[in-house]
Structure 1
């Protein structure tokens, strides 16, 4: 199989193969989760603000927020690997492999928490309830996604796929 560029794989960098259980420091997993949270938060906040400002239903607002979270999450990852010299298509493949599970879990948790706060979605953009609920939902999503990302990275999956392109 030919790649666009020659880069060390995660296996070469860590000395473990993707099926192994390499020990990943919590700090590395936190950094990967924070990266995921950044993209998710940009998309989530933008989607919830747009949906709320336009008076959309909770379901329509959540769909927009999740879609934008995936777009911004993938875009942030692609930005880094494009700088490493990958083609757009290769960068998209890396982003899909690296972020899909993490973003999906983060969005599931984030939106479940946000929707479960009574009145949060209806509170409006000028309400502290709205913003505190959104911030709290993102914080809970981070805490839940952190061990998942550590587990994935320990197996050479998730953010570990991107790791080789950051060096």
Structure 2
């Protein structure tokens, strides 16, 4: 009997009840309530990629200049990719008036998954490309491999960012401060 009563209660809330309907555009204001455009996801990914690229190239330049082996050079490049990736987001939200601690939390929430995916993909491409790990900054192989690695990372990370923003995570956290 209670099962029948429960089923009946579900029928009271039909999709045809327009008394509580919101305008369609209101659903796009907050992450997690509406579709996220590919353009928004691509912008978030490009923003992240810029910081990562600067950090990685700087790390590779420092590692090369200090004649480090591949492993410590790559570790420094990845660490700097995170630093610069977070810094770009922090700069944007600090300008919006957040204090440093809050801006740092927003950057962690917005970029951690994005940077992680990007770094795994981009460093994976470099690792599997023959000769790329041993190529010097003056060689075309280094720059071609890096460009291809970033392009693949962008393609892989954009859908991840789209999904995260759609769930109210990732760069959706940043958008509330713009």
Whether the TM-score (by the shorter chain) exceeds 0.5 is yes
The answer to whether the Cα contact below 8 Å between 2:60 and 2:76 also exists between their aligned partners in 1 is yes
Superposed, 1:13-162 pairs within 5 Å as: 14-16=28-30, 18=32, 22-162=34-174
Taking a change above 3 Å as real, the CA distance of residues 53 and 127 of structure 1, as seen in their structure-2 partners, is same
Unaligned runs of 5+ in 2: 1-25
Runs of 4+ in 1 over 2 A off after TM superposition: 12-18, 52-55
| TM-score calculated relative to the size of structure 1 | 0.86
Aligned length: 153
* Shift of residue 15, structure 1, vs aligned partner: 5.0
Gaps of 5+ in 1: 1-11
Structure of greater relative contact order (alpha carbons < 8 Å, 6+ residues apart):
1
Alpha carbons 2:31, 2:166 under 8 Å: kept: no
TM-superposed CA distance for 1:17, in Å, is 6.2
Whichever of the two has the greater Rg, that structure is: 2
TM-score when scaled to structure 2?
Answer: 0.81
Shift of 1:125: 1.3
Q: Which residue of 2 aligns with 1:8?
A: none
